[in-house]
Amino acid sequence: MARNTQVSADPNAPPITHILAEFVAGHPSRGWSDAVEHEAHRTFMNWLGCAVGASHHEAGEAALAAIATLQPAPQATVLGRKDRVDIASAALVNGITSHTFDFDDTHLKTIIHPAGPVASALLALAELTGASGRQVIDALVLGIDVSCRIGNLMYPDHYDRGWHITGSTGGLGAAAGCARLLGLDTQATAMALGIAASQPIGMREQFGTMTKPFHPGGAARAGLMAALMAKHGYTASARALEAPRGMIQTISAKCDWREATDELGRRFEISFNTYKPFACGIVIHPSIDACAQLRAQGVKPEQVERIELKVHSLVLELTGKKEPADGLQAKFSVYHGCAAGLMFGRAAEEEFSDEVVNRPDMVALRRKVVATVDDAIDEASADVTAVLTDGRRIHVFVEHAIGSLENPMSDAQLEGKFHGLSDPVLGARPTSRLIAACWELAAAKDVRGLAALAVPA
Amino acid sequence: MARNTQVSADPNAPPITHILAEFVAGHPSRGWSDAVEHEAHRTFMNWLGCAVGASHHEAGEAALAAIATLQPAPQATVLGRKDRVDIASAALVNGITSHTFDFDDTHLKTIIHPAGPVASALLALAELTGASGRQVIDALVLGIDVSCRIGNLMYPDHYDRGWHITGSTGGLGAAAGCARLLGLDTQATAMALGIAASQPIGMREQFGTMTKPFHPGGAARAGLMAALMAKHGYTASARALEAPRGMIQTISAKCDWREATDELGRRFEISFNTYKPFACGIVIHPSIDACAQLRAQGVKPEQVERIELKVHSLVLELTGKKEPADGLQAKFSVYHGCAAGLMFGRAAEEEFSDEVVNRPDMVALRRKVVATVDDAIDEASADVTAVLTDGRRIHVFVEHAIGSLENPMSDAQLEGKFHGLSDPVLGARPTSRLIAACWELAAAKDVRGLAALAVPA
């Protein structure tokens, strides 16, 4: 569930992003004194001398060796496209696209979306190294375990102060997974984690912009590069995570260290992963599910006089938009969610298109939704009654929506979701082959075969 | 000056970096239940579907357009080397090497080392675009102004909680500078700052490892890529810096907003930049300077019976290592610093080599240094008396060491420092040509000429 608390936030800060941007874009060339101009040359020269002087130091050598892995450039697949780019860029872009629809997986204990950072880094690296499916699955389970355990350790304080926890823990998961895929030993793996520990990514203020999906993409790239650098001897603190001025204590006041180690190797956090059936925030899911159940029971939109919706106050607080103007706004409208559930029995990305949102029958239907707050109903539940034009009342109560940990999507439902996403890009038959390759991944000798199936003909 | 405070630090955290590294490196393949194994396939498949589904969304398009700028790979100079790499990697490596010797510039109000992130990004980008020297200098002044102003705004709280402020503000400076170099308008520049705002880099725990110089390098790369993405339409929050869940409030409890805007365009933070004459922490500089002055007055090491050194307690706290075993330890030894000043009259990187540190005459000389604490002496000062074998006492008091804001290095001294760094790499004559190109940078039609001079023959 989304959280709204933040310690000591100042909502009245002046618009310094804009002020500084205007300054940088608009200040005249050489708009300063001779002293400043001279200092600029001194600054440049001193920087240049330092860089030339250390140009053959082992840190530069190790970084260059890692970078050399990236070249020549076209190494890895951009999923769903014919483009091929270097592996770091593939990790970045696939991490972005996998989170773009807010439709990816959720580790509910921490609201981390764990696959984006980890899988995006792993597939790109595996394409280069020719890793087996077995190696990729092993690295995926272990990488996700690391990022979610660090998440457990810091959540909720870390999230409350403004961090998008998917990006801030994702680099560690990607580094761990890539270190595993590269076969690094404990020492080098610790260095990979250490390099990644200096790069937590993502502020919640970015929600609603493209920089939100940048977070898992950036984390994927950072973790991949951290593992490559560690492989080539780049060093970090061996206590980069836990030291007083290490990552965790710097970005979280909650440091429950046991979460990192309790039942390590016996309890796997991927067991608590969930998948969204609907392309919007989880808080709307029970309402959509209930309306889809009404539709399954034969209720038709034209029969409906009124939809009585009872939900926890948080649902309306976060998604109470009555008249969404476009697809993005509709993702924050429980009214639109109910209408989509009743009209289509689903709410995937296309049901949040601008076109569908503005269809007259959809506008009319969502105006029939009357929402009331009832805090006796859990945030994860919804109580819906369809009042029909003939006076009948049909009631559905959803305790746990489809896609929750208690009521997970079936494999068949997951395949259906996959088809909905992939068919428009790859076509239905290639998508079926790709789905089969996913189920058989652990047995694949070389993961490049699967990657090739994700490219349009 | 280095600061030692941190709110609520836990020095007794368990070694989770090591524990998790061992787990990732050592856990057996498929060492989990069938349920976990199956969940891994579901996780992978769901991630893949999301990425394929959004593969032609505008966020992916914008990121790919930015990445396309990087190809083909060999675009920019690695300073001091013949290697050529893509511009993002050049920004990274030059940022690393420029900070590797801890010998770069210092904005003393915040202890930011401002040039590393900004200049490393700018030179790489300018090589690709063929920018003029004038454009580079403009972007350098403005970029440094942004990063140091954000530093002023958050310092010292932000630093005290564990952030390496050079990396955490450097991405903003690099983004600002690159946005300027690309000629972005206010709106796109705000987006560049916004994308960079999700990527503060660097924890102080990394000091003493290669990840410390990674911080300015990573910041340079992040800022450069943020500007490229903004140029291609990638979006971020327009209040990414100042909003309650934006960068600044997330990583600092001190938010003195006026520092961002006071005298903007009239006071330039680059005016407060300083350059280190000695390749070690600033706290030792007054002692080295004093001993170098003794040497200039004719005092020879073999005449010395004893060096009486009086300094503030912080000096011994941070650099009190009496018997350094190697070059890295010597950087934390005021004793070695005094010996180097008296023996060589300088303390550049070679005076901190393992070889020099272990020379018998250096070992003997530093054992003659008797340090005592006197908190009446400022941290930035040193009181040194050479007691000679003939009984004479020669006294030097250094109020502000050479290289401080009050007693800056002259241009000639800066050139001497540059020769010390660059001659061993490029040779003395090419170095002189490079120095001349630096002084004439603002007049250069194309900065690629200068970059070519930084490559060994």
Residue of B nearest to A100 (CA): B54
Residue of A nearest to B247 (CA): A203
Across-strand partners of B163? B203
Residue of B nearest to A8 (CA): B253
pTM attached to this predicted model: 0.90
Which fold does the domain A282-398 belong to in CATH? 60s Ribosomal Protein L30; Chain: A; (3.30.1330)
Mean pLDDT of B369-393: 96
Residue B114, min C-alpha distance to chain A (Å) = 9
Percent of chain B with pLDDT over 90: 68
Q: Is A433 on the interface with B (CB under 8 A)?
A: no
Q: What is the per-residue pLDDT for A8? A: 63
Distance from C-alpha of A365 to C-alpha of A342, rounded to nearest angstrom: 9
Q: What is the per-residue pLDDT for A296? A: 96
Burial level of A334, CB count in 10 A (0-12/13-18/19+)? buried
Across-strand partners of B77? B84
Residues near A6 by Cβ (< 8 Å), separated by ≥ 6?
Answer: A160, A161, A162, B244, B245, B249
Q: Is A255 in contact with B142 (Cβ distance < 8 A)?
A: no
Mean pLDDT of B202-220: 93
Distance from C-alpha of A199 to C-alpha of B103, rounded to nearest angstrom: 23
β-strands A105-107, A84-85 pairing: unpaired
The DSSP code for A409 is P
Chain B positions touching A50 (Cβ under 8 A) are: 97-101, 103-104, 421
Residues near A129 by Cβ (< 8 Å), separated by ≥ 6?
Answer: A181, A182
Q: Which of A94-98, A382-386, A410-414, B273-277 has the lowest mean pLDDT?
A: A94-98
Q: What is the per-residue pLDDT for A433? A: 94
User: Cα–Cα distances in Å, from A230 out to A203, A234, B143, B436?
Assistant: 27, 5, 31, 38
Mean pLDDT of A40-56: 80
pLDDT over 80 at A264, yes or no: yes
Q: Is B203 in contact with A250 (Cβ distance < 8 A)?
A: yes
Distance from C-alpha of B294 to C-alpha of B276, rounded to nearest angstrom: 20
Interface of A with B in 224-263 (CB under 8 A): 229, 234-251, 253, 255, 257, 260-261
Distance from C-alpha of A431 to C-alpha of B376, rounded to nearest angstrom: 76
Give the phi and the psi of residue A57 in degrees, each rounded to 5: -70, 155
Residue A310, min C-alpha distance to chain B (Å) = 30
Q: Is A96 on the interface with B (CB under 8 A)?
A: yes
Residue A302, min C-alpha distance to chain B (Å) = 32
Q: What is the per-residue pLDDT for B5? A: 53
Provide CATH 1.10.4100.10 ranges for chain A.
Answer: 68-275
Q: Which top CATH class is A68-275?
A: mainly alpha
Mean pLDDT of B146-160: 96
Q: What is the per-residue pLDDT for B1? A: 41
Q: Is A236 in contact with B86 (Cβ distance < 8 A)?
A: no
Residue A306, min C-alpha distance to chain B (Å) = 34
The widest CA-to-CA distance across chain A, in whole angstroms, is: 85
Select from A58, A97, A119, A142 the least CA-distant residue to A450: A119
Cα B128 to chain center, whole Å?
A: 24
Q: What is the per-residue pLDDT for B72? A: 56
SS3 A310: strand
pLDDT over 70 at A23, yes or no: yes
pLDDT over 60 at B7, yes or no: no
SS3 A204: helix
Q: Is A44 in contact with B119 (Cβ distance < 8 A)?
A: yes
Mean pLDDT of A146-155: 96
Mean pLDDT of B224-253: 93
Distance from C-alpha of A266 to C-alpha of A271, rounded to nearest angstrom: 11
Mean pLDDT, chain A, whole residue set: 91
Select from B142, B225, B231 the least CA-distant residue to B188: B231
Fill in the amino acid letter for A164.
H
Q: What is the per-residue pLDDT for B208? A: 84
Inter-axis angle of helices B285-296 and B334-344, nearest 10 = 30
Select from B132, B145, B127 the least CA-distant residue to B440: B132
Burial level of A261, CB count in 10 A (0-12/13-18/19+)? middle
Q: What is the per-residue pLDDT for B73? A: 58
A403 is written with which tokens? 């896609």
ipTM of the shown complex: 0.90
Q: What is the per-residue pLDDT for A5? A: 53
β-strands A304-311, A369-373 pairing: parallel
User: Cα–Cα distances in Å, from A61 out to A56, A65, A66, B425?
Assistant: 6, 6, 9, 15
- pLDDT tens digits, one per residue of A190-207: 999 999 999 999 999 998
- B329 vs B337, residue with greater confidence: B337
- How long, in residues, is chain A? 457
Q: Which of A122-131, A286-295, B87-96, B409-418 has the lowest mean pLDDT?
A: B87-96
Distance from C-alpha of A67 to C-alpha of B133, rounded to nearest angstrom: 28
Percent of chain A with pLDDT over 70: 98
A136 is written with which tokens? 């990729």
Residue A245: pLDDT band (50, 70, 90) is very high
Residue A1: pLDDT band (50, 70, 90) is very low
Distance from C-alpha of B44 to C-alpha of B35, rounded to nearest angstrom: 14
Provide CATH 3.30.1330.120 ranges for chain B.
Answer: 282-398
Q: What is the per-residue pLDDT for B337? A: 97
Residue B307, min C-alpha distance to chain A (Å) = 31
Residues near B180 by Cβ (< 8 Å), separated by ≥ 6?
Answer: A24, A25, B135, B138, B139, B142, B143, B189
Chain B positions touching A411 (Cβ under 8 A) are: 42
Residue A73: pLDDT band (50, 70, 90) is low
Residue B139: pLDDT band (50, 70, 90) is very high
Residues near B405 by Cβ (< 8 Å), separated by ≥ 6?
Answer: B108, B272, B274
Contact A205, B246 (CB under 8 A): yes
Residues near B99 by Cβ (< 8 Å), separated by ≥ 6?
Answer: A50, B113, B116, B166, B212, B213, B215, B216, B217
Residue B454, min C-alpha distance to chain A (Å) = 7
pLDDT over 70 at B105, yes or no: yes
Q: Is B51 in contact with A273 (Cβ distance < 8 A)?
A: no
Cα B293 to chain center, whole Å?
A: 28
- Provide the number of CB pairs (under 8 Å) joining chain A to chain B: 632
pLDDT over 90 at A255, yes or no: yes
Q: Is A140 in contact with B11 (Cβ distance < 8 A)?
A: no
Q: What is the per-residue pLDDT for B3? A: 47
Q: Is A326 on the interface with B (CB under 8 A)?
A: no
pLDDT over 60 at A2, yes or no: no
